[in-house]
């Protein structure tokens, strides 16, 4: 049963654990808005936009953004296993990076790791897009058809039309999944190239 479909019962006190005093509890307690935002984030597989929060919760943009900012601070303050990321035009809860290896082991899955060849090809597409296969091969100096096909299969790049030149070659761009995979809001958040 998925976590979001389970209804939690009131927690039983743990033996030997002292309850928080009022001052300590205030540091960790979520406001109603923060709790609503956190529940929506927890139950969503995709990043949620401010518009989506507004539509579901009936809040304005300022309230949503303030609630998300405060929730991000509280997650950091209580050293939660989750962090709040602004990524690919929306917001999502993600597991802290240092816990990734434990999750991969326990759940039998791993983050998509790319070979050096695929990383090089993906970097060329990301920094030079829109780009054709011939342009990628000019930069890499080797054939790249297989690498581009694998990146398409992984969903990290997409075909974005055809160039209006002889042979009408396919134009490649990065996908939304690329932004999620990198954990960035937009292409503007990619690190600058060395020497630029």
pLDDT confidence band for 131 (50 / 70 / 90): very high
Distance CA 91, CA 175 (A): 17
Dump pLDDT digits (tens) for 97-128: 666 665 555 555 555 678 899 999 999 999 99
Answer yes or no: is pLDDT of 168 > 80.
yes
Model pTM above 0.85: no
> How buried is residue 38: exposed, middle or buried, by Cβ count under 10 Å (0-12/13-18/19+)?
buried
- Quick check: do 28-105 and 116-189 share a fold? yes
Q: Domain 116-189: which topology?
A: Arc Repressor Mutant, subunit A (1.10.10)
Every domain of the chain and the residues it spans:
28-105, 116-189
Average pLDDT over residues 58-75: 90
SS3 content of the chain, % helix, strand, coil (to 5): 50, 15, 35
CATH class of 28-105: mainly alpha
């Amino acid at each position: 049963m998925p976590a979001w479909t389970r209804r939690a019962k009131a927690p039983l006190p743990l033996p030997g654990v002292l309850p928080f005093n009022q001052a300590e509890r205030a540091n960790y307690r979520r406001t109603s808005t923060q709790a609503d935002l956190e529940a929506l984030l927890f139950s969503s597989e995709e990043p949620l936009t401010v518009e989506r929060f507004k539509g579901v919760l009936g809040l304005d943009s300022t309230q949503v953004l303030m609630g998300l900012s405060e929730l991000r601070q509280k997650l950091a303050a209580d050293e939660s296993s989750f962090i709040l990321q602004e990524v690919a035009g929306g917001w999502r809860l993600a597991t802290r990076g240092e816990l990734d290896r434990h999750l991969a082991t326990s759940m039998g899955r791993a983050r998509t790791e790319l070979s050096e060849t695929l990383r090089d090809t993906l970097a060329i597409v990301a920094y030079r897009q829109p780009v054709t296969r011939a342009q990628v091969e000019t930069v890499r100096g080797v054939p790249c058809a297989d690498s581009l096909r694998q990146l398409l299969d992984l969903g990290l790049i997409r075909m974005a039309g055809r160039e209006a030149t002889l042979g009408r070659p396919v134009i490649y761009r990065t996908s939304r999944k690329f932004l999620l995979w990198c954990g960035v809001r937009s292409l503007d958040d990619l690190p600058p190239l060395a020497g630029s």
